[in-house]
């Protein structure tokens, strides 16, 4: 990690907090991040999970995308069958 300036518009606040001095050294910052288990908290947050899924979907090859498409079609068909069954029961 390299120190530098960043525009406020590019920053987003999260609920993950660590206690550090005002101008920490690199080792102090790394130790505080590891002690607070920031990486695990980020991966378990909804935002982090969305990014993980996005990266995984972006790395799929053509055959993997085809398998995902088939899975979505099967899941949609099962949902439609269940919905039709519920509508039929409600009509009776």
CA distances from 74 to 3, 35, 78, 79 (A): 49, 44, 6, 9
Total number of domains in the chain: 2
Residue 54 and residue 65 share a domain: no
Digit-coded pLDDT (tens) for 15-47: 999 999 998 999 999 999 999 999 999 999 999
**Are both 55 and 28 inside the same structural domain?**
yes
pLDDT at 3: 80
73 φ, ψ (degrees, to nearest 5):
-65, -45
> Is residue 68 located within the same domain as residue 86?
yes
What does pTM read for this prediction?
Answer: 0.63
- List Cβ neighbours of 84 (8 Å cut-off, separation of 6 or more): none
Q: Looking at the domain assignment, is residue 8 inside a domain?
A: no
Could you list the residue range(s) of the whole structural domain that residue 28 is in? 23-59
65 and 55 in a common domain: no
pLDDT score, position 45: 96
pLDDT at 65 over 90: yes
Does residue 32 contact residue 20 with C-beta atoms inside 8 Å? yes
Backbone Cα Rg of the chain: 23
Decide if 32 contacts 24 (C-beta within 8 A): yes
pLDDT at 1: 64
54 and 70, same structural domain? no
Asked, for residue 15, whether it belongs to a domain, the answer is no
């Amino acid at each position: 990690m390299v120190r530098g300036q960043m525009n406020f518009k590019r920053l987003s606040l999260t609920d993950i907090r660590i206690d550090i001095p005002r101008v920490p050294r690199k080792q102090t910052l790394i130790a505080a991040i590891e002690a607070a288990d920031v990486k695990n908290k980020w991966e378990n947050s909804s935002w982090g999970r969305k990014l993980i899924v996005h990266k995984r979907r972006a790395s799929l090859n053509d055959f993997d995308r085809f398998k995902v498409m088939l899975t979505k079609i099967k899941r949609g068909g099962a949902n439609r069958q269940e919905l039709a069954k519920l509508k039929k029961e409600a009509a009776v």
